Amino acid sequence: MRRTGQRVTLLASVVRAMAAAMPSAPRSDRSPAIDEPDAASPRSLGVGSGALLVVASMVGTGVFTTTGLLVRDLGSAPAVLVAWLIGGVAALAGALSYGELAAALPRNGGEYALLTRVYGPSVGPRLGFAAGLVSFVVGFAAPAAASTIAFGDYLRGAWPGLSMEASRVVGLGLLVGLGLLHARTTRHGTGFQNVTTALKVALLVAFIALGLPRGELARLTEGAPLADALARPSFAVGLVFVAYAYTGWNAAAYVAGETRAPGRNLPRALALGAAIVTLLYLGLNATFLAAAPAEALSGRVEVGEVAARGVFGPRAAQLVSALVAWGLVSNIGAFVVAGPRVLEVMGQDHPRLRALARRRAGGGPTWATALLVALAVVMALTASFDALLIYVGVLLSFFAAATVAGVFVLRRREPALARPYRVIAFPITPLVFLALSGWMIVFAVIERPVTAAWAGGTLALGVALHRWAR
């Protein structure tokens, strides 16, 4: 335990050092009126906590299950790595763009708060309310339920003698316990979240450091020529899967109202979290590809176990299961932290939802957290979230693209607004994200028109509920 504590302390120091090395914004642009802390949600989170929240939100099961499908569809190890690199570039471009908006408008709620303000009084409230509804249900409650079920599955993989019923009970107990912790105390909840996430990163780094040298690095260049693989339609499909694995790069924006010195710390937390995960994903996928032949990985969902068995031996499956199960603890915690903040801000703005804005002194939003946990428990017990996951990528990509486009809109609508941070390489950075997101959305609509219809229906429902909530 002493060594573990030393590693966590060392990792936290590295995160703080990386944050300090990032460029800071001019202090003269800071808006004192916006930076005043809210008595209900004091600004207690630093850049390290924000970055770790991003990491916890992003790293779930996706990176351990996607690469086998990419190997099958692309037939090229370099193309697989390029797909993960493009996903990281898109996530970093989105994070930098969100940084400008969140630093200028540091309020909890993510897309709900940003879209409501950016697009003006006629369009903004309706678009923001629909985004808040979608992000709460599709972006937080459903993934929390999916991660809870996955936690039970991987727990059985780590301890084969555990029954399915017992593992499901443990998973639901973890979900409820995290909800109680984060609703009761933000201080201890943040501390627990930081420790579990730091340990997760440390374990992944150890997996890469020990596994990659044992693999055959020549396998990283095997398969079809890179140009041929990139030209295949299957590469577009692969990018959609990769983009979903990168979901969560905007997590720090949901707690903008509780971040200290948001004009400086929010852009750093968003960019640092996305950069850390991009490096982890590239390292993990290089390890997977080097650990086993392409034919052994092709089409396999449990690619992490296959790779670990290739470099660590026959008992490696239990090792990977334990690693993923531990990682899901912080993953579920991140959903429980960020999701209720959306409903909390919506409750502050709409009288009929006022109860969702209540929070106890020193704690998180009480009823909003309870609602997210209850909804996630129902989804985990009934698996009704499967229908949501079909169109989750389209909806989340749409609202993320609308938010990044808001950088252009807000600069035009409010040129005098104090901007503590301006996105690097504007307008190239937001345009890169918009181009990649738009391409994926159009491709998804063409390939899955039913999915597009469900997404359109969800937007209409959000507008209708906004009228009721007013």
Query: Does any domain span residue 435?
Result: yes
Q: What's the pLDDT score for residue 392?
A: 65
Q: What's the pLDDT score for residue 269?
A: 95
pLDDT digits (tens, 9 = 90+) for 146-166: 888 888 888 888 888 888 888
CA 435/CA 439 separation, integer angstroms: 6
CA 128/CA 111 separation, integer angstroms: 7
Q: What's the pLDDT score for residue 386?
A: 42
Q: What's the pLDDT score for residue 420?
A: 94
Query: Does any domain span residue 26?
Result: no
Q: Which of 105, 100, 102 is nearest to 426 (CA)?
A: 100
Tell me which residues of the chain have a pLDDT lower than 50. 1-39, 384-390
DSSP for residue 214 = T
Residue 261 sits in a domain whose CATH number is 1.20.1740.10
Query: Does any domain span residue 31?
Result: no
Number of domains within the chain = 1
pTM: 0.82
Q: What's the pLDDT score for residue 268?
A: 95
Q: Which residues contact 298 (CB under 8 A, 6 or more apart)?
A: 68, 71, 72
Instruction: Please give the single-letter amino acid code of residue 291.
Output: A
Query: Does any domain span residue 30?
Result: no
Query: Does any domain span residue 17?
Result: no
Q: What DSSP string describes 198-211?
A: HHHHHHHHHHHHHH
Query: Does any domain span residue 18?
Result: no
Determine how many CB atoms are found less than 10 A away from the CB of residue 447: 13
- Ramachandran area for residue 222 (φ above 0: left; ψ -120 to 50: alpha; else beta): beta
Query: Does any domain span residue 4?
Result: no
Q: Which residues contact 269 (CB under 8 A, 6 or more apart)?
A: 19, 47, 48, 49, 50, 51, 53, 54, 252, 259
Domain that holds residue 174: 41-418+425-469
CA 422/CA 263 separation, integer angstroms: 10
DSSP for residue 328 = H
Query: Does any domain span residue 14?
Result: no
Q: What's the pLDDT score for residue 271?
A: 95
